[in-house]
Structure 1
Amino acid sequence: MSNIQVSVRIPPKLYEKLLAHTNAVGLPKSKVITQALSQYLETDEKEKPSSSIEERLVNVEKRLERLESSPTLDKSSNVIQTKEKEKKSQPTLSFKTPPLQEFFFERPIIDETGTILKRLKGESQCFKEELGDGIILEMIYIPGGTFVMGSTSDEPGSQVCEQPQHTVTLEGFFLGKFPITQKQWEIVAQYPKVNRDLGVDPSCFKGSDRPVESLSWEDAVEFCDRLSQYTQRPYQLPSEAQWEYACRGETTSPFYFGPTLTGDLANYMAKRLYAGESSSLYRQETTSVSAFYPNGFGLYDLHGNVWEWCADAWYSSYDNASTSGKPRSSSQQETRRVLRGGSWDEDAYHCRCASRYAYHPQAVGVSQIGFRVMLMASGQ
């Protein structure tokens, strides 16, 4: 039987949405359009058999999120494609936030030599917290999900403390788009004291858009407490499970850019090699938090620049780790806290998604340590 060709005029608005979806899922335009039409132009059980093509085209626009009915792995980039519906879902909050806003970004995917293979377009939601004096804190919504935490023993740079790998399921939360900057710190450090005093200008490397550093875990907790008191929203440090989930940005590779890292993509000791990339610039200081590309959630600076404090007490392995991603509490034998993400003064292997480090919560004066803040979407 010969094929029957049917000519269908796609409305311009729908065509633009199909193109946007093409970029989001990384599939060829022809495949996305064919898939959409073949899936939705057929009569649906709930639709009348007499529904016109034009009426069903309208439904295509409303139901694009079902193009990918389950998560799939793009093996060329180790990117897990999630349902569009999940990415755009509105969190259910038990407290008020400023209105959520959509924003768009671009991120590269690289091979083991550091060569950019392609650039993917992304979209996320955030709200802007007004801190005063025109300074804002951008909080990105991270949809809940399940991921495999930790590293395999054959991942280059892997440490025993990153094992065993285990599955963690998280509820949705908000995470700072950037590490807390010096201008944000200066504002909040002048809010009313909750438990301890804060210096207004603790950083070694000065710059309003550079991350604040040289502060202790206890200082970071006080910052969260003052911010919570000021906004009436329960800000906290992220658990390390939340941090790693957010850092991976729906990827499974050592770095959210791919199998390696380069000095063009992050601020670290790039003169030392991780895989097949070339040696590049070692800056020997912090940089602006927006100097490099974001990850799949639109988060910046999770590789390098400054280590970031997490809420968890340090444990030397993931034995008996929580599967819900809640922070682990201190024991009498161990009071150190978890650091994540590496810094400007670390090799690439310390900047991997799974890398973790321990440090004393009262320690100050270390220019490699900063933090970012978290807010549970459920208000817990």
Structure 2
Amino acid sequence: MRRFAYEPEMVALDGRCFQMSSPARRDNNRASRSQQVCVDAFKIARHEVTFSQYDLFARATGRDAPDDEGWGREHRPVINVSWEDATAYAAWLTELTGRSYRLPTEAEWEYAARAGTETTRFWGNAPNEACIYANVHDQVSRRENGLSSPHHACDDGYATTAPVGRFKPNAWGLHDMLGNVWEWTCSVYGGEFDGIEQRCASAGHAGFRSIRGGAWHSGPRHIASAARSGALPNKMFGGLGFRVVED
């Protein structure tokens, strides 16, 4: 089936089992843990959804265009979009193209981000190599934004979001899996992995959703394949976007 110019470029990934990091135990044992999780074959967008792609959806459906914070639109990742907005975009793309788009599960997201690695980050364990591979909280964002939180001792050239694809991809050709913007997943955010990381939440579920990958304002702690956080489905801010997968 022919692909349309407004569709994201997709990368096909084989299904397999991998070691997925597990949340810290509730007994305050923070030792690194992992468990084997299996995913089926799927396709994932090479880049985060951009303003150009999302603005087309907003115009077509009569939605308000999200605020770009004055940082620019076009090929920058869309920001200030909720989980509800992101799932609506995927549903619109599905209806328009006849292909099945959605947000990734948390397990699919980590599998794609790791690209076969078991290190802290897909490029290895060194946080200060981040500026080759990711747009992060670094020397320039510390200087220009006045952020005092721990930063990467490198300079990626961007104080806020960067156009997608400006940094080296992981081994599977996926750009910005770490940094630039946090990415919505379709999974409920929970304190334990009990299968929820492998399925999508129902639209009416009121709980937090898992977000992954860190953002332009994230220090070394959150620029890691295992780093995770949660946000309510209606939450939106200038460091949160998404990418889609295709079944």
Shared topology, TM-score over 0.5?
yes
Distance in 1 separating the partners of 2:23 and 2:95: 41
Deviation at 1:357, TM superposition (A): 0.4
Corresponding position of 2:145: none
Sort the Cα spacing of 1:223 and 1:136 in 2 relative to 1 into closer, same or farther, 3 A: closer
Deviation at 1:285, TM superposition (A): 0.6
Q: Is the 8 A contact 1:307 1:340 kept in 2?
A: yes
Q: Is the 8 A contact 1:217 1:363 kept in 2?
A: yes
Q: Is the 8 A contact 1:305 1:343 kept in 2?
A: yes
Q: Is the 8 A contact 1:269 1:283 kept in 2?
A: no
- 1:230-309 equivalences under 5 Å are 230-261=96-127, 262-271=130-139, 272=150, 278-281=153-156, 283-309=158-184
- 1:1-380 equivalences under 5 Å are 97-98=1-2, 129-131=3-5, 135-150=6-21, 164-191=33-60, 193=61, 198-204=63-69, 205-261=71-127, 262-271=130-139, 272=150, 278-281=153-156, 283-318=158-193, 320-321=194-195, 325-327=198-200, 335-364=207-236, 366-376=237-247
Of the two structures, which has the highest relative contact order with CA contacts closer than 8 Å and spacing of 6 or more?
A: 2
Sort the Cα spacing of 1:152 and 1:182 in 2 relative to 1 into closer, same or farther, 3 A: closer
Q: Is the 8 A contact 1:164 1:317 kept in 2?
A: no
Q: Is the 8 A contact 2:11 2:45 kept in 1?
A: yes
SS class of match (1:184): helix
Q: Is the 8 A contact 2:187 2:210 kept in 1?
A: yes
| Code of the aligned partner of 2:50 | T
Distance in 1 separating the partners of 2:94 and 2:32: 34
Distance in 1 separating the partners of 2:196 and 2:186: 14
Sort the Cα spacing of 1:259 and 1:363 in 2 relative to 1 into closer, same or farther, 3 A: same
Q: Is the 8 A contact 2:183 2:241 kept in 1?
A: yes
Superposed CA RMSD: 2.7
Distance in 2 separating the partners of 1:163 and 1:254: 10
Unaligned regions of 5+ residues in structure 1, if any?
A: 1-96, 99-128, 154-158
Distance in 1 separating the partners of 2:89 and 2:98: 14
Distance in 2 separating the partners of 1:286 and 1:160: 35
My pick for the range that moved more, 259-268 or 233-242, is 259-268
Distance in 1 separating the partners of 2:73 and 2:31: 34
Sort the Cα spacing of 1:229 and 1:268 in 2 relative to 1 into closer, same or farther, 3 A: same
Sort the Cα spacing of 1:363 and 1:160 in 2 relative to 1 into closer, same or farther, 3 A: farther
Scaled by the length of structure 2, the TM-score of the pair is 0.84
Q: Tell me the alpha carbon deviations over residues 30-82 of structure 1, each in whole angstroms, 9 at most, x when there is no partner.
A: xxxxxxxxxxxxxxxxxxxxxxxxxxxxxxxxxxxxxxxxxxxxxxxxxxxxx
Kindly, what percent of the aligned residue pairs are identical? Answer: 28
Say how many residue pairs are matched: 231
Unaligned regions of 5+ residues in structure 2, if any?
A: 140-149
Deviation at 1:203, TM superposition (A): 2.4
SS class of match (1:348): coil
Scaled by the length of structure 1, the TM-score of the pair is 0.56
Deviation at 1:190, TM superposition (A): 2.8
Q: Tell me the alpha carbon deviations over residues 293-330 of structure 1, each in whole angstroms, 9 at most, x when there is no partner.
A: 11111100011000000001110122x2368x323569
Q: Tell me the alpha carbon deviations over residues 213-237 of structure 1, each in whole angstroms, 9 at most, x when there is no partner.
A: 0111100011011111101111100
Distance in 2 separating the partners of 1:137 and 1:148: 28
SS class of match (2:132): coil
Larger Rg over CA atoms:
1
SS class of match (2:108): helix
Corresponding position of 2:143: none
Distance in 2 separating the partners of 1:146 and 1:328: 22
Sort the Cα spacing of 1:152 and 1:188 in 2 relative to 1 into closer, same or farther, 3 A: closer
Sort the Cα spacing of 1:363 and 1:161 in 2 relative to 1 into closer, same or farther, 3 A: farther
Q: Tell me the alpha carbon deviations over residues 216-259 of structure 1, each in whole angstroms, 9 at most, x when there is no partner.
A: 11000110111111011111000010000000011111111111
Deviation at 1:136, TM superposition (A): 4.3
